[in-house]
Copies of this chain bind each other. A is one copy, B any other.
């Protein structure tokens, strides 16, 4: 059974603190192995990449080529059924459309002192997208990572995907084509991250690497950070559902399980103001588990990390939610907007009784790459600006420099940086 807390009970504060601080990730220590692989790819380029791929993925890229070409992609697209293809296309269209709204605007101002100040956004030139192989290969993740880069204007959008035993994943290739990926390489693991960061004879290096991966991929991304940009390292999925007694317990139960089924380390939490409703949801979870294909994973997540919190009043909810800062937050209540407006820390919020979180995983439009492990306190889901960067501009003429320069000289002298001061002073004396 998941842990059960009630705000009215003695010991709630300590039990809640324990829930907030509970660790679910088991970090595998693979730093040394990863460092060796990266060094080998820097040194050996393609031949190192081919060697690791032979060893870890059990096929020979020297025969197939490292790249997955247009014909192979077309063949994969042809193999998927029309309904799935239509679903991918609808998802892509909606994701692209929502992300296009995020494009930032430049500005330039003429300030009272006579300086012209500006800020402008430009896209990153080249981005690498890591896509896991095997069962963890999700076409929806290809769309969610690739489309914001496309919207941002990134010109090289490079995908790497391991193909264990040489078997390509048709859905992943179809999603890549729909999302406008410009290159695909059949490589994975730390060696793929190294190739993206440092380049090889075949693969030109990129400027930023995004996308999920196993412990080796995560360690490799940390290792190359600084040389290239990386996205955040995602932890196990989380859902926090706030539901009143007017909901169907079965709907809320399956919402909790929709995240629990991801991973035994996932976390599903219910907050409700009705203890009987909480009981009904807990019972319904068991009913669903009886027929879910991934019941074993979901059940372990629910029992080990799940929680039910009964509050005395929904007024207590915002404070609890902000402390948990969940990746996904469902507000299945009468006036979800009013409650949402009082919440500050959550990756994505799903409003009302007809908005299960899963709709956001696929087709709603906002990104499903979201901050986990309470990092929503200080970080955001993936967005268009993660594939762009800002440059500020300053333009002064003699008058403008005359207006603000003396203060800058004073501060530079105060800080003991005389060349700074002199670079302004020489210009003021020549007016």
Contact = CB atoms under 8 A, between A and B. Distances in A.
A422 B357 CA distance: 11
A359 B396 contact: yes
Contact of A261 (B125, B357, B397, B417): B417
Interface stretch (A6-14, A65-73, A273-281, A365-373): A365-373
Contact of A362 (B340, B359, B408, B416): B408
A157 interface: no
A243 to B, nearest CB: 13
Interface in A388-431: 389-398, 400-401, 404-408, 410-412, 414-424, 426-427, 430
A345 interface: yes
A350 B394 contact: yes
A408 to B, nearest CB: 4
Contacts of A104: 104
A78 interface: no
Given A122-B345, A293-B418, A360-B392, 9 more contacts: A86-B407, A94-B404, A115-B364, A207-B378, A254-B422, A261-B417, A292-B422, A350-B393, A351-B394
Contact residues on A (Cβ < 8 Å of other chain), bracket: 35 or more
Contact of A94 (B87, B111, B138): B111
**Pairs of residues from A and B, 5 with the lowest C-beta to C-beta distance, nearest first:** A366-B392, A229-B378, A351-B395, A87-B407, A358-B420
Number of copies of chain A assembled together: 2
B88 A401 contact: no
B376 A391 contact: yes
A111 B139 contact: no
A418 B366 contact: no
Contacts of A19: none
A390 B381 contact: yes
A260 interface: yes
A411 B85 CA distance: 9
Given A91-B407, A348-B393, A394-B355, A171 B414 contact: yes
